[in-house]
Amino acid sequence: MLEFIARMSIAHPPSSRRRPMRALPTLIFMSRWLQVPLYLGLIVAQGVYVVLFVKEVWHLVVTSMTLDETQLMLIVLGLIDVVMISNLLIMVIVGGYETFVSRLGVDGHPDEPEWLDHVNAGVLKVKLAMALISISSIHLLQTFINPAQHSTHAIAWQVVIHIAFLTSALVLAWIERITSRLDHAAQITNG
């Protein structure tokens, strides 16, 4: 009997035992699972983007012999735009779930995204801002390739919005850099 107690105390040392959480903290902590339907909805949106992509590829194949270079370029940029938005969805779904809901448990999996092992809320915000800049850049390129389709006012607003995305991303990256340096300094001081 003493041997059993000794093994149990080694398996679960007193310092690793957790106190049961009180009701309110438990409710607050468990509320993170309310985000799961949101991520599932984003997966459905991802499926819709796949259907849109296949439709656009089919349109490209069927009309390829009748398109001029500008039209072809605009369709290809539209496909790139769909892919970039889809990548943004993956970052939000995978990174958001891992950061705010629960661990995915993909450590060591050969397909584990490289960025997932160091994702946190700050890094995720910067990655999302960079993805938005990329998407905005594609839209600006489409506008500049075919400016006759847009008013000067619309083009100006696209440029202003793009500059706002750039500025926001730079500020977010700067804040993340400062925050990570402060966290690192605190770890050194406390460790």
Average pLDDT, the chain: 84
> Cα separation of 127 and 145, whole Å?
27
What is the b/e burial string over 117-131, where b = at least 16 CB atoms within 10 angstroms of the residue's CB?
eebeebbbbbbbbbb
**36-45, 105-114, 142-151: which has the highest mean pLDDT?**
36-45
Residue 12 has pLDDT above 60, yes or no: no
- Name the H helices within 31-151: 36-63, 69-90, 96, 121-145
Supply the pLDDT for residue 15.
52
One-letter amino acid for residue 175 of the chain: I
One-letter amino acid for residue 172 of the chain: L
Ranking 31-35, 42-46, 57-61, 181-185 by mean pLDDT, the lowest is: 181-185
Question: The dihedral of CA 189, 17, 26, 120: what is its sign?
Answer: positive
Q: Which helix (H) or strand (E) holds 172?
A: helix 152-190
CB atoms under 10 Å from CB of 54, counted, come to 11
User: In the structure encoding, which two tokens stand for residue 95, read together?
Assistant: 């990174």
Q: Which residues contact 21 (CB under 8 A, 6 or more apart)?
A: 29
What is the b/e burial string over 163-191, where b = at least 16 CB atoms within 10 angstroms of the residue's CB?
eebbeebeebbeebeeeeeeeeeeeeeee
Query: Quick one: which of 104, 44, 63, 56 has its CA closest to 82?
Result: 56
Supply the pLDDT for residue 166.
93
Per the listing, tokens 């310092």 go with: 15
Residue 4 has pLDDT above 70, yes or no: no
Residue 39 has pLDDT above 90, yes or no: yes
